[in-house]
C-alpha cells in the first residue's frame, strides 16, 4: 500500500504498477485479485493486468470492465497494460500465453518482453542475446496479431548479464544498458513501441552504486527513445528487494531524465539574442525580465537532490538515503484517496470474493 501511494503521488511516474511487491501473506492463488483491487481502489494511474494465466487475465478484464463502463467500452478504449514474459531461450509458457490471448481478444495492450541473461539463458555475446530476444518477442507479437489483428503490442526487453565470477545475475551494467538501448532500435525498426530499462541495481543498499547503476539503466533507454519503462523506481539487489528510499531516489532520477528528454527548445524567445545584446560582455542576467519569466519552466526544481552550500548542508549532514526517508514520509502523508464510488467498491469486492471461493476450493 505504501508503494502504491508513492507511485500515485510521484509526478514522474505514470503507471501505478502491477505486483509492486509480492504480498507473501496472501494466498498465491488469489493474491493478484487483492493487488488489482488495491490499484483500482487507491490510484487513478494506469494499472497493470495480471498475467497469471487465462484466469488472471479474465479476472482483470472483468474488474476493469466494471470500472470503465463494460466490456465493449473497454475494448474500444483500453485501460490496462500487461507484461507477458517469454522464457529464454525461445519459449513461451502456457500461463503467459493464456493471458496474452485473453488480452489480445479484448484489445488491451500487451508488452511482450524477453529477459535473456547473457551467458546463461542466452549466448555470452550481446548480439546473440539480442537475436534470441528478437525471436521471442516477434513470436509473441505474431501470436497476438494472429489471434486478434491490431492488438496494441509493445516490444519488451529486460535482458541482463550473468556474472561469471559469482554466478549471479547482474541487471545493471554497461552491457545491460546496451541491450536496453538496442531493444529501442529494434522496436523502431519494426514500427512498434518499446519497453526497456528501469531504475535497477545490483546494490543491496541506497548508496552510490544504487545511484549510478539506476541512472545508467534509466538513461540508456531514455536516450535511445524507449517509450515505456517498467521498474522505474524502488528496485535493489537484482529485482529481489524493493526499498521506499530507493523508490524516492529513482523517482528523482526519473524527473531529471524527463527534463533531459524534453530537450532544448529553440526559437526566437529562447535564443534571446536581444537579451544577450542588452546585457553585454561581462555582465549578468540575474535581474533580466527574460530570466524571471523563463527560469520557472526551463529549470526543473529538484525534489530530493541537495544544492545547498556546504555550511547549510552540514547542519544536518543528511545523505541521499536520509533525505529520501524524510521525503517518503511526506509523500505518503500527502497522498489523497482519489475516491472510488462505494457501489463500485462493493461490486468489485463481491466479484473478488466469489472468485476467491472458486479458486480456493
For residues 252 and 303, the answer to whether their CB atoms sit within 8 Å is yes
Cα 110 from Cα 45, distance rounded (Å): 17
Q: Which of 237, 288, 299, 292 is nearest to 262 (CA)?
A: 299
Nearer to a copy of itself, 82 or 86 (CB): 86
- Measured from the CB atom, the residue of 301 and 361 that comes closer to a copy of itself is 301
CB of 108 to a copy of itself, least distance (A): 27
CB of 7 closer than 8 Å to CB of 13 = yes
Separation CA 300–CA 264 (nearest Å): 13
CA-CA distance, 231 to 85, in Å (whole number)?
Answer: 14
Closer CB to a copy of itself, residue 70 or residue 312?
312
Nearer to a copy of itself, 43 or 134 (CB): 134
Give the integer Cα–Cα distance in Å for 217 and 177: 6
**Cβ closest to a copy of itself, residue 104 vs residue 180:** 180
CB of 45 to a copy of itself, least distance (A): 23
Distance CA 63, CA 32 (A): 12
CB of 101 to a copy of itself, least distance (A): 20
Distance of closest approach, residue 163 Cβ to a copy of itself, in angstroms: 5
Residue 236 and residue 210: Cα distance in Å, rounded? Answer: 7
Q: How far is the CB of 9 from a copy of itself (least distance, A)?
A: 20
Amino acid at each position: 500500500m505504501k508503494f502504491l501511494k508513492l507511485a500515485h503521488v510521484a509526478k514522474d511516474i505514470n503507471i501505478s504498477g502491477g505486483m509492486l511487491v509480492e504480498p507473501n501473506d496472501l494466498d498465491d492463488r488469489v493474491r493478484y485479485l487483492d493487488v488489482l483491487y488495491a490499484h483500482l481502489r487507491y490510484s487513478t494511474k494506469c494499472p497493470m493486468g495480471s498475467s497469471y494465466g487465462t484466469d488472471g487475465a479474465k479476472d482483470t478484464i472483468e474488474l476493469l470492465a466494471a470500472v470503465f463502463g463494460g466490456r465493449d467500452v473497454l475494448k474500444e478504449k483500453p485501460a490496462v497494460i500487461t507484461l507477458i514474459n517469454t522464457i529464454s531461450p525461445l519459449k513461451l509458457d502456457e500461463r503467459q500465453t493464456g493471458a496474452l490471448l485473453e488480452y489480445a481478444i479484448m484489445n488491451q495492450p500487451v508488452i511482450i518482453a524477453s529477459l535473456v541473461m547473457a551467458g546463461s539463458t542466452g549466448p555470452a555475446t550481446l548480439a546473440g542475446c539480442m537475436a534470441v530476444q528478437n525471436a521471442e518477442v516477434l513470436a509473441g507479437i505474431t501470436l497476438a496479431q494472429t489471434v486478434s489483428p491490431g492488438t496494441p503490442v509493445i516490444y519488451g526487453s529486460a535482458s541482463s548479464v550473468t556474472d561469471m565470477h559469482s554466478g549471479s545475475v547482474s541487471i545493471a551494467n554497461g552491457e545491460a544498458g546496451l541491450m536496453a538501448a538496442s531493444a529501442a532500435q529494434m522496436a523502431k525498426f519494426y514500427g512498434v513501441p518499446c519497453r526497456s530499462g528501469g531504475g535497477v541495481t545490483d546494490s543491496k543498499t541506497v548508496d552510490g552504486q544504487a545511484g549510478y547503476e539506476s541512472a545508467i539503466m534509466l538513461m540508456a533507454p531514455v536516450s535511445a527513445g524507449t517509450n515505456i519503462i517498467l521498474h522505474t523506481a524502488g528496485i535493489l539487489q537484482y529485482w529481489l528487494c524493493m526499498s521506499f528510499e530507493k523508490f524516492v531516489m529513482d523517482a528523482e532520477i526519473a524527473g531529471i531524465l524527463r527534463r533531459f528528454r524534453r530537450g532544448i527548445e529553440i526559437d526566437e524567445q529562447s535564443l534571446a539574442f536581444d537579451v544577450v545584446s542588452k546585457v553585454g560582455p561581462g555582465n549578468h542576467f540575474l535581474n533580466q525580465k527574460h530570466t524571471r519569466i523563463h527560469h520557472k519552466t526551463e529549470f526543473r526544481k529538484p525534489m530530493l537532490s541537495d544544492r545547498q552550500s556546504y555550511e547549510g548542508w552540514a547542519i544536518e549532514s543528511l545523505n541521499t538515503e536520509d533525505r529520501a526517508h524524510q521525503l517518503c514520509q511526506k509523500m505518503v502523508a500527502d497522498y489523497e484517496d482519489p475516491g472510488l464510488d462505494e457501489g463500485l467498491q462493493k461490486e468489485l469486492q463481491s466479484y473478488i470474493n466469489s472468485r476467491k471461493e472458486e479458486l480456493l476450493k
